[in-house]
């Protein structure tokens, strides 16, 4: 099994320090899909738009997933600066979603711009002095706690000054539906001196001048699964399972889908049912399936190529 180095800093618990987190390739594929993409960051060049839309392809182009360590690929290291920037962003967002799941047991992480785009009801920002720069992600765990994540990617280890600068964006959300987020986390991904992808998780204190986000809570989940559905339905169905369809995203060796029970619960407004389904999956309830089902219902199947 492969592993990634994650360093936790400034958390008010006993978990600060550096650790090696094991992972399997399907977990990174799932994380790249769960992280989505910021529609505001779409490149202008036509030859880059198609690849930008496929986060998984960008991540696979940048990370040697099957190696014991997540090394940067030759493709990444030899890419021109613009393409390397797109790949770095994709890896940073993917590892943000990955660490949210494995470090904080968070199944649902949503890009704020995508939430604005897909939410059936308006997302309202309330503040006298709202920051012009939004944070990247808000997230929800199975206990109903909210989190804020700011994902950053660099080709070298960020300095303390970088972390201090980035924490300003992680602090821009004071409350979500009048509830204070449990953590405001900067997830900084970088290449170490051996060209291995590594991550720092940094928890800054909230900013009392930050803005409040307000929206219908079920619409967070509806938006989450609506953007997954629209994304997957643009690809061909390759397998119809008892849990839902699997699609080919053009990633050799993998098929991806969303468990229909999760989708149904979200669109029916059954938040507690979503929590139950997620907990059941984590406890191995669907372990008989020949593919992996994650806590948000994303399914990833490895196939021979």
Phi, psi of 21 (to 5 degrees): -100, 115
Mean pLDDT lowest among 26-30, 169-173, 218-222, 277-281 = 169-173
Query: Which residue, 167, 187, 162, 188, is CA-closest to 101?
Result: 187
SS3 278: helix
16 pLDDT band (50/70/90 cuts)? confident
The Cα–Cα gap between 149 and 55 comes to: 18
Query: Each residue of 224-260: pLDDT tens digit?
Result: 999 999 889 888 999 999 999 999 987 778 899 999 9
**Better-predicted residue by pLDDT, 105 or 253:** 105
Average pLDDT (3-26) is: 87
pLDDT for the residue numbered 305: 66
Task: Spell out the alpha helix ranges (H) of the chain.
Answer: 25-34, 46-53, 55-62, 74-77, 81-104, 112-118, 160-170, 217-232, 260-267, 271-282
Chain center to CA of 283: 21
pLDDT for 266: 97
- Residue 53: what pLDDT? 52
> What confidence tier does 82 reach under pLDDT thresholds 50, 70, 90?
confident
- Choice between 9 and 305, residue whose per-residue pLDDT is larger: 9
Task: Flag whether pLDDT at 299 surpasses 60.
Answer: yes
**Residue-averaged pLDDT of the chain:** 85
Cβ atoms of 298 and 228 within 8 Å: the answer is: yes
Number of CB atoms found within 10 A of residue 241's CB: 16
C-alpha of 234 from chain center: 20
> What is the mean predicted confidence (pLDDT) over 95-115?
93
- pLDDT at position 52 is 42
Residues 6+ apart with CB under 8 A from 255: 238, 239, 246, 247, 248, 249, 291, 300, 301, 303
In this predicted model, which residue has the larger pLDDT, 246 or 211? 246
Residue 125 has pLDDT above 90, yes or no: no
Mean pLDDT of 194-206: 87
pLDDT at 140 over 90: yes
């Amino acid at each position: 099994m492969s592993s990634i180095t994650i360093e936790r800093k400034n958390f008010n618990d006993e978990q600060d320090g550096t650790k090696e987190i094991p992972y399997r390739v399907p977990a990174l594929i799932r994380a790249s899909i769960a992280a989505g993409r910021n529609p505001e960051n779409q490149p202008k060049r036509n030859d880059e738009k198609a690849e930008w839309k496929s986060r998984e392809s960008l991540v696979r182009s940048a990370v040697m997933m099957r190696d014991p360590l997540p090394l940067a690929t030759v493709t990444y290291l030899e890419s021109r600066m613009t393409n390397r920037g797109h790949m770095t962003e994709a890896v940073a967002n993917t590892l943000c979603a990955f660490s949210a799941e494995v470090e904080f047991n968070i199944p649902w992480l949503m890009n704020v711009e995508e939430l604005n785009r897909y939410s059936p009801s308006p997302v309202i920002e309330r503040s006298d002095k709202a920051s012009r720069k939004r944070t990247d992600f808000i997230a929800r765990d199975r206990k109903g706690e909210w989190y804020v994540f700011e994902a950053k990617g660099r080709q070298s280890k960020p300095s303390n000054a970088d972390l201090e600068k980035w924490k300003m964006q992680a602090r821009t959300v004071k409350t979500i539906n009048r509830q204070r987020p449990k953590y405001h986390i900067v997830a900084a991904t970088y290449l170490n001196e051996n060209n291995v992808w590594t991550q720092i998780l940094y928890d800054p204190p909230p900013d009392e001048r930050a803005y409040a986000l307000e929206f219908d809570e079920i619409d967070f989940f509806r938006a989450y699964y609506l953007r997954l559905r629209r994304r997957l339905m643009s690809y061909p169905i390759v397998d119809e399972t008892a849990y839902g369809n699997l699609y080919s995203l053009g990633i050799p060796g993998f098929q991806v889908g969303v468990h229909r029970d999760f989708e149904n619960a979200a669109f029916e407004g059954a938040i507690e049912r979503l929590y139950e389904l997620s907990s059941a999956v984590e406890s191995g309830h669907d372990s008989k399936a020949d593919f992996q089902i994650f806590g948000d219902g994303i399914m990833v199947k490895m196939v021979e190529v």
